[in-house]
């Protein structure tokens, strides 16, 4: 069977093109499982948690008895009380244990304590359950590893908190009473946050029963090198002749290695771009232009990952406000694990700590958020309405005329917002440019913001339209010296992108300023500077 890129659930190397996990599995085994750690794989949606667990199950089968469970198989009604939960847990545990590859007689001996408990009239409570589980672990020919996926399904259920407390007690007493050698719980929410949902805002917020958990710091993002190895396998099967290292770097630039996003871009390039008019003739799909087109298609798609992002920022207004401030005001917030909003955003995988401050985790999420925030204001925005009405004047022969875009922006901006004070323009000016730009390039072009240059004074936007790139710097004018430095920074950035022409948009509050557009030459670079 021909392998393909998979974005729907579990990935298997014999069926799907996927990053090889051997290095990650070895690290988890040596640093956590062999040392008998209990821990949580806590990552955002579609981060490869289930794929990692299933790969671990196969990787460890010679050294451990692996019991793999999924709490999605336990219905909400079965979490109502200890009796219904214990019965459901026991049935799933027995089913998993019956599939373990050990001698039949040994398997029967292991199954007996729990199957007898499940089928008789003994009280179904957590204490009795763990007595049987201890008996199984004591009789097992190999150490038992318990893996529970989708622990999020247990949210808001006191019986699960009690289950964790029992498990913690058994862990602390395991020298005298055998229990699982290692336990892995996997989900988006960490156990502390599950506990938070159970209690009032003030009561015992950080008193989680899962304080025995080891910190899990294995990097589950894909590196550019790992993506390149996957693409080499695909290229060998399909004779693409692609430069896998260059394409992998380009995919990584957009995704920062977020597993679902990597697979989604590759899937679009493999399955959709061959029928795209742009590539049906040239056939040069596996190129930077192909990656850009795939990103554009992905951002216009309705995906469960984007749905989760939108759901979470609507559920948590403080999260939405923080992301909005980072993107549009260039707020530089220091990472603090005790800041609830920051911790929440990190847990969902929407932001990362870059060592100096927090930033949105990848360009795909950034652009998705920009598009959302801008669309919420687009219909009410006067400058966006003008851009929609006059869009045709900026496109000729299929090319974007960026100088004309800046020229008319200066005109419209001064006309609409020129009477507003400095504070207003400093806060909203760059947002207005994006509101103006978006309807002009919508449907054909992409844009993204360079996170490392985004602050309260400066933001670089990269616009890609029909395969042509426009490097544009937006900045707040802070005097001639700062302005000259900004021009030099732009020329350095043009060198990085192998461009000879760049664009500079300055929001200038000097009363003697000269608004308009002019052409500058710095060395071998041409800079089109617009001042509002």
Digit-coded pLDDT (tens) for 245-265: 999 999 999 999 999 999 999
Q: In which band, very low, low, confident or very high, does the pLDDT at 79 lie, cut at 50, 70 and 90? A: confident
Residue 156's pLDDT is 63
Angstrom distance (rounded) from CA 458 to CA 279: 36
Residue 278's pLDDT is 79
Q: How much is the mean pLDDT over the chain?
A: 89
Nearest C-alpha neighbor of 505 from the set 421, 415, 437: 437
- For residue 204, is pLDDT > 50? no
CB 212 within 8 A of CB 168: yes
CB 190 within 8 A of CB 347: yes
- For residue 203, is pLDDT > 50? no
Residue 424's pLDDT is 74
Angstrom distance (rounded) from CA 355 to CA 334: 9
Q: What is the number of residues in the chain?
A: 532
Q: What is the mean pLDDT of residues 417-433?
A: 78
Which of 115-124, 152-161, 169-178, 328-337 reaches the highest mean pLDDT?
169-178
Q: What are residue 462's DSSP bridge partners?
A: 448, 471
- For residue 201, is pLDDT > 60? no
Angstrom distance (rounded) from CA 92 to CA 96: 6
Residue 166's pLDDT is 94
Angstrom distance (rounded) from CA 332 to CA 334: 7
Cross-sheet strand order for the sheet of 458-465: 445-449, 458-465, 468-476, 501-507, 525-531, 516-522
Q: What is the mean pLDDT of residues 473-486?
A: 76
Q: In which band, very low, low, confident or very high, does the pLDDT at 528 lie, cut at 50, 70 and 90? A: very high
pTM of the model: 0.88
Angstrom distance (rounded) from CA 52 to CA 24: 9
Angstrom distance (rounded) from CA 529 to CA 502: 9
Q: What percentage of the chain exceeds 70 in pLDDT?
A: 93
Angstrom distance (rounded) from CA 54 to CA 85: 24
Q: In which band, very low, low, confident or very high, does the pLDDT at 132 lie, cut at 50, 70 and 90? A: very high
Q: Give the up-direction half-sphere exposure of residue 488: CA atoms within 13 A in the CB hemisphere.
A: 6
Helix (H, G, I), strand (E, B) or coil at 322: helix
Q: In which band, very low, low, confident or very high, does the pLDDT at 202 lie, cut at 50, 70 and 90? A: very low
- Which residue did the predictor score with more confidence, 198 or 358? 358
336-353 pLDDT per residue, tens:
988 989 999 999 999 999
Residue 206's pLDDT is 46
Q: In which band, very low, low, confident or very high, does the pLDDT at 205 lie, cut at 50, 70 and 90? A: very low
Q: In which band, very low, low, confident or very high, does the pLDDT at 207 lie, cut at 50, 70 and 90? A: low
80-106 pLDDT per residue, tens:
899 999 999 999 999 999 999 888 888
Angstrom distance (rounded) from CA 178 to CA 141: 13
Angstrom distance (rounded) from CA 476 to CA 483: 9
């Amino acid at each position: 069977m021909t392998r393909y890129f998979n974005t729907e659930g579990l990935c298997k190397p014999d069926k799907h093109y996927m990053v090889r996990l051997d290095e990650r599995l070895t690290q988890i085994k040596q640093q956590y499982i062999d040392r008998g750690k209990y821990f949580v794989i806590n990552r955002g949606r579609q981060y490869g948690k289930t794929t990692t667990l299933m790969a671990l199950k196969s990787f460890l089968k010679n050294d451990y008895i692996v019991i793999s469970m999924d709490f999605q198989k336990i219905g909400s009604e079965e979490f109502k009380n200890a009796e219904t939960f214990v019965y459901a847990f026991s049935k799933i545990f027995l089913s998993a244990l019956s599939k373990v590859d050990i001698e039949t007689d040994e398997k029967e001996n292991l199954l007996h304590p729990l199957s007898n408990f499940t089928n008789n009239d003994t009280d179904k409570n957590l204490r009795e359950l763990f007595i049987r589980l201890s008996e199984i672990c004591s009789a097992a020919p190999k150490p038992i590893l318990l893996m529970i996926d989708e622990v999020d399904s247990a949210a808001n259920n006191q019986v699960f908190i009690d289950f964790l407390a029992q498990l913690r007690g058994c862990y602390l007493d395991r020298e005298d009473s055998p229990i699982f050698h290692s336990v892995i719980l996997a989900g988006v929410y960490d156990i502390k946050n599950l506990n938070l949902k159970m209690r009032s805002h003030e009561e015992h917020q950080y008193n989680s029963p899962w304080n025995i958990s080891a910190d899990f710091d294995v990097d589950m993002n894909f590196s550019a090198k790992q993506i390149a190895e996957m693409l080499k396998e695909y290229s060998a099967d399909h004779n693409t002749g692609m430069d896998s290292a260059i394409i992998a770097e380009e995919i990584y630039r957009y995704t920062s290695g977020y597993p679902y996003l990597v697979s989604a871009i590759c899937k679009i390039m493999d399955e959709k771009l061959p029928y795209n008019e742009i590539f049906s003739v040239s056939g040069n799909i596996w190129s930077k232009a192909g990656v850009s087109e795939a990103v554009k298609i992905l951002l216009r798609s309705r995906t469960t990952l984007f749905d989760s992002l939108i759901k979470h920022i609507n559920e948590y207004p403080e999260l939405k406000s923080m992301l909005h401030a980072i993107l549009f005001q260039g707020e530089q917030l220091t990472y603090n694990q005790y800041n609830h909003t920051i911790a929440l955003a990190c847990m969902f995988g929407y932001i990362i700590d870059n060592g100096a401050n927090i930033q949105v985790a990848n360009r795909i999420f950034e652009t998705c958020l920009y598009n959302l925030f801008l669309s919420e204001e687009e219909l009410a925005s006067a400058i966006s309405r003008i851009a929609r009405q006059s869009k045709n004047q900026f496109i000729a022969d299929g090319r974007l005329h960026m100088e004309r875009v800046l020229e008319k922006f200066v005109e419209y901006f001064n006309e609409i917002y020129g009477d507003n004070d400095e504070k207003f323009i400093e806060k909203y000016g760059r947002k207005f440019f994006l509101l103006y730009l978006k309807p002009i390039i919508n449907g054909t072009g992409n844009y993204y913001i360079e996170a490392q240059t985004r602050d309260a004074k400066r933001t670089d936007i990269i616009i890609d339209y029909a395969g042509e790139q426009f490097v544009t710097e937006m900045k707040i004018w802070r005097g001639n010296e700062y302005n000259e430095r900004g021009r030099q920074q732009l020329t350095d950035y043009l060198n990085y992108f192998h461009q000879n022409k760049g664009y500079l948009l300055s929001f200038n509050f000097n009363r003697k300023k000269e608004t308009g557009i002019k052409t500058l030459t710095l060395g071998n670079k041409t800079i089109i500077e617009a001042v509002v």
